[in-house]
């Protein structure tokens, strides 16, 4: 269970994971030692899973972000497991979620270009993963990037 101070710690770290413990403690109104104890507890209890840097990937190399709706041919639990295991090994698939509705999975893919995405999509369709169809949406502009969960 988290309290209001824990939520302050989590909000602050979502906004800036590089905060020093001293700066974090000052921001949430705790002593550095008390803040460190709480932060370690939040990590140990699984509330704080990891620390990340948000990259400007478009500055590193040409990139196309694709949102893909994937529908499987069959809906047996083993079919889902086979698909999920396979996409976990694809570095281009940067997010994946099983969803309700007219398709089974929503993928976020970072490809070098549209041709690279098409080749990946074709390989998924030709594979033995049971993919029936893929609907593609190319990101035109990111209007609100993910910066953290509302707490």
Encode the chain (151 residues) as per-residue pLDDT tens digits. Answer: 999 999 999 999 999 999 999 999 999 999 999 999 999 999 999 999 999 888 888 899 999 999 999 999 999 999 999 999 999 999 999 999 999 999 999 999 999 999 999 999 999 999 999 999 999 999 999 999 988 999 9
What confidence score (pLDDT) does residue 66 get? 98
Residues 122 and 79 both lie in one domain: yes
Instruction: Please count the structural domains in the chain.
Output: 2
For residue 148, being part of any structural domain is answered with no
Tell me the pTM: 0.85
What confidence score (pLDDT) does residue 3 get? 97
What confidence score (pLDDT) does residue 22 get? 98
Residues 74 and 125 both lie in one domain: yes
Integer Cα distance of 121 and 115 in angstroms:
10
Residues 62 and 115 both lie in one domain: yes
Integer Cα distance of 96 and 68 in angstroms:
9
What confidence score (pLDDT) does residue 147 get? 87
Residues 31 and 81 both lie in one domain: no
Residues 67 and 25 both lie in one domain: no
Residues 91 and 127 both lie in one domain: yes
What confidence score (pLDDT) does residue 108 get? 98
Q: Which of 65, 144, 141, 53 is nearest to 107 (CA)?
A: 65
Residues 111 and 78 both lie in one domain: yes
Three-state secondary structure along 16-82?
CCCCCHHHHHHHHCCCHHHHHHHHHHHHHCCCCCCCCCCCCHHHHCCCEEEEEEEEECCCCHHHHHH
Site of tokens 């001293």: 22
CATH of the domain at 114: 3.30.70.920
């Amino acid at each position: 269970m988290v309290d209001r101070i824990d939520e302050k710690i989590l909000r602050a770290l979502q906004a800036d994971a590089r905060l020093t413990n001293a700066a974090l403690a000052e921001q949430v109104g705790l002593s550095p030692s008390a803040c460190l104890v709480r932060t370690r507890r939040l990590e140990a209890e699984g509330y704080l899973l990891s620390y990340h840097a948000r990259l400007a990937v478009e500055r590193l190399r040409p990139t196309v972000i694709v949102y893909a709706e994937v529908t499987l041919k069959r809906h047996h639990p083993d079919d889902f497991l086979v698909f999920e295991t396979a996409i976990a090994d694809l570095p281009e698939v940067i997010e994946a979620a099983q969803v309700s509705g007219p398709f089974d999975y929503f993928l976020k893919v970072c490809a070098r270009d549209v041709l690279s995405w098409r080749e990946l999509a074709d390989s998924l369709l030709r594979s033995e993963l049971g993919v029936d169809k893929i609907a593609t949406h190319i990101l035109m502009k990111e209007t609100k990037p993910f910066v953290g969960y509302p707490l």
